[in-house]
Every structure is written in C-alpha cells, then in structure tokens.
A and B are shown apart, each in its own frame.
Chain A
Amino acid sequence: MNLVLHVWRQKNAQDKGKMVRYDAKGVSPDMSFLEMLDVVNEELIAKGEDPIAFDHDCREGICGMCGVVINGLAHGGHVGTTTCQLHMRHFSDGDEIYIEPWRAKAFPVIKDLVVDRGAFDRIIQAGGYISVATGNAPDGNAIPVPKPSSDLAMDAAACIGCGACVAACPNGAAALFTSAKISHLGLLPQGQAERFRRVVDMVQQMDTEGFGNCTNHRECEAACPKQISTDFIARMNRDYIRGSLSRRPDKVGGGDG
C-alpha cells in the first residue's frame, strides 16, 4: 500500500522545526510502524537526504525507547501496544499519517522525533534508594510478600518509562509514570523503609521538571502500552498526603532518639 506521511522534522534542539510530507510507497501490511519508517529512511539516504531520526531499541515492546504520536494518538492508539509493535495492517492504502514527537516542556526535542526523557530519570533519582541487603542472594521467602501486594506491585512495575502518558495527557502531566514508580516500591515490604520520604521527594521533582498536573482525564491510562491504571495515581496521592503529614524535620547529627 501507499501512504502519505507528515513527519515532524527538526534539525536540533534550537531549530524551530516543521511538518514535512513524504510518500511511503509499497508498504507491506506485515511491517511494523518503525520498519515502515526504516524503508522511508533508506530512500532518503539513497537520495542523499537526512533520514528521519526516531528512538528505538528492542522493537519487542519492552524497552520503552520508541514512541511517537501518530494522528494525535500516542503509540498510534492500539490497546497495550508500543509504536514498534504497531503493524501497518492497521492502516489502509492512501492513508495520511501525522507523526510527531512527544510534546512536553520537560521532554525537549533533540532531533526530529527523538526527545530527551532525562526528566523521568531525575524523578526516579529523587526517590533515592531502597534498603536491600547486598551479598548473597537472600533465602527464598525470607521476606514474606502477600500475593495481592506482589501482583499489584508487578502491575505498577510494568511501566517501561516510554513517556506516552505525558504525551497523551492534555495537561502534560507525569502523574501516571511517577505513581507507577512510587507504587511498585511502596507496595512491597522492601520499599517500606523510605516509602513516605520517597513519595514526597518524587512528587516535588515532578513539579521541578516542569510537567503539568493531573486533572483526572485518564488519557494516560488509555495511551499506556502497559495498561497501567490511574488507580496508582490515587495511591500516590494517598501516600503523598500521609508522607507530607508525617514528615519530620531532618536531623543533622542523628542518633539522639
């Protein structure tokens, strides 16, 4: 099939950028979306033009590197699907496809469709550490983890940090990402020691990075390729309130308790 692409082209972070039209000819329905872009890029390279830059790594939907907004839908809008797992059979001959990078102040465009998601790393860093003893592997079941907690923690830990939640949010908020990271530790016994300090620090960092704020549109949940629930946002809010109410002043010397 033949498609018309409108792709965001931007030379570097300083460039203003614009949409550029490309014809994608002879696209197979078996190609993934990224393979379709590979084919377009092969042609651009053959013509001596600059290929379209986009992020990708594993191409099996687990690394969180890829992600573009396709016709106003993050990752193209199929349930539980990253851009690399989106196949061209979902499109028909003659379709016009608009391809744009994630749009958020906290995700500056580096080039074309590639954005810098360092803000996510800094939110995780703000959470600090969890207390896990190093050395030999601990005995199995030395720390009992209730099955419902481990299931819920795993649901949150499914987050691959792709940033689709921010891209799809009308407010450009990072609440789903941050709440998933907070919850997957906060639900487990190993994460209890720093649980309430972590939530306060990560929530503060979310604002510092320049994300918007959650007004419960729930567009993030619809866009999330790992189908993470906005229930985790409520969990974050709950822990944030508890953490703020119970926070004690930092002691310099310590040990006087």
Chain B
Amino acid sequence: MFQVLDFYKTANGKKVVMAITGLIGFGFVLIHMLGNLQVFVGQEKLDDYAKLLKSSMPILWGARLTLIGAVVLHVVASWQLAGQSEDARPVPYQKKLQKRKSTFASHSMRWTGPLLLMFIIYHLLHFTIGWKTLNLPFIEGAVYSNVVNGFKLWPVAAFYILCMLALSQHLYHGIWSLFQTLGVNHPRYNGLIRAVAALGTAVVVIGNISIPVAILAGYIK
C-alpha cells in the first residue's frame, strides 16, 4: 500500500508539501500586497476593503485556517528536511565547498525562512491582534490609521523593510524551486519560469516596501 504517509515520509514527498504550501503563500502575499496598495487611494478605501474582508465569517476563517495550515506544514516539512540534510554530512570539509551555481538566495533559505516566520507572528500581533505589550498605536478596525501611525515609527518601518528584503530572497529562490519540485521543467518554459520568479518577487516586494517608504517620506499622512 502506498498512501499519503508513505509519500510524506520521503524527502521528495515533503518537498512537494513545501512547494504547494509555498505556492499558497506566494498567492497570499501577492493578493495581500495588492490589497494593501489601496492605502495610496485613501483612508476610506482601505478601511472599506478591510470591512469587506471581514464581512463573511466562514470565508474569513476558511482563508485564515488554510493559511495557518499552509504555514504550519511549510515550517514542519522544512524543519524535517533541513535536519535530514544536516545529518547527511557528519564530517565537514576542511576547506569549504566553493559556490558555483548556488546563489545567495538559495543559501539564505535556512535563515530567511525562520526570520519570515518571526515576522509573520510579529505582523499579526501588530496589525491583526493589536497586542498591547508591543506598545504600538492600534485601534480595532481603523486599518488606515494603524498603518500610518505604525510606520511613522522608523524602527518599525525599518524592520518591515528588512523583512521584505528577506522575503525577496526567499521568494526568488522559492518560486523557481517549487516549479522544479513539482516537476514543471521544460526547455521551452524554463526561461519563463525564471522570469515569473523574478517578476513575482519584484512586484510583491517593491509594492510592500513602497508603503512604509511613502509614510516615512510623508507622502501618505
């Protein structure tokens, strides 16, 4: 019998889980960024959009549970996979392996991942939950003013921008990598896949960074 658990037991199976949950994550950050850009339109537009998202509880919680599930699976699988690779070379090279085709993005997945997990938790505490201990300006439902007042504090804005730069590396390697893991590879489309990875990353990261930058510059008040 070859079942789901047997599939997950292999590294390849875990990687497929990483790829699918990663794709869900990419889809989310893309839509999330497009939604956020409404901050440039004005207070009413963004706050109405926030209300719209919360208008149906089943859809809201359906989406939330899907995303939480995807993050949990992504983190657990990556933890197990990284552990397996750590164990695979017990005696290290005396002279470090030289890098030829690997990139900063591919090597930094191991720490951009944990950093982004911390960021997600911080981000939820900041804008969704409004955790008091953070001592950041937060009014339930007043999304526009929360964003503007939050990013007026430069350390907060700087941390968000830093995390978005980490996201750029994670997305660039991750998007290309997930196609490879799912076996989508063909000489006719490989260039396109690279382009999708680069363009998708650029759109998400530049879109997101533009918000704290515009607020710090005083363009959005």
Q: Which residues in A have some Cβ–Cβ distance to B below 8 Å?
A: 6, 8, 17, 19, 69, 71-73, 77, 98, 100, 103-106, 109, 168, 170-173, 200, 203-204, 206-207, 210-219, 221-223, 230-231, 233-241, 244, 247, 249-250
For residue B2, which residue of chain A has the nearest CB?
A247
Partner of B101, one of A73, A104, A219, A250: A219
Give the contact stretch, choosing among B46-54, B84-92, B132-140.
Answer: B84-92
Q: How far is the CA of A104 from the CA of B88 in the complex (A)?
A: 6
B residues less than 8 Å from A218 (CB atoms):
101-102, 106
B219, CB-defined interface residue at 8 Å? no
Q: Which of B64-81 contact A (CB under 8 A)?
A: 81
- Asked if A234 meets B185 with Cβ closer than 8 Å, knowing A171-B85, A173-B88, the reply is yes
Q: How far is the CA of A72 from the CA of B98 in the complex (A)?
A: 5
Q: How many residues of B contact A (CB 8 A)?
A: 48
B residues less than 8 Å from A244 (CB atoms):
2, 6-7, 13
Interface contacts (Cβ under 8 Å), in number, total 148
Are A213 and B85 in contact, CB atoms less than 8 angstroms apart? yes
Q: How far is the CA of A200 from the CA of B1 in the complex (A)?
A: 12
B residues less than 8 Å from A233 (CB atoms):
180
Do most interface residues of chain A lie in helix, strand or loop, or is the interface mixed?
mixed
Q: How far is the CA of A236 from the CA of B10 in the complex (A)?
A: 13
A residues less than 8 Å from B92 (CB atoms):
103
Are B182 and A237 in contact, CB atoms less than 8 angstroms apart? yes
Binary CB contact string for chain B from 1 to 34 against chain A (1 if under 8 A, 0 otherwise): 1100011011111111000000000000000000
For residue A230, which residue of chain B has the nearest CB?
B180
Are B101 and A212 in contact, CB atoms less than 8 angstroms apart? no
Q: How far is the CA of A210 from the CA of B94 in the complex (A)?
A: 21
B residues less than 8 Å from A236 (CB atoms):
12, 183
A254 to chain B, nearest CB (A): 16
- Asked if A207 meets B2 with Cβ closer than 8 Å, knowing A173-B85, A216-B176, the reply is no
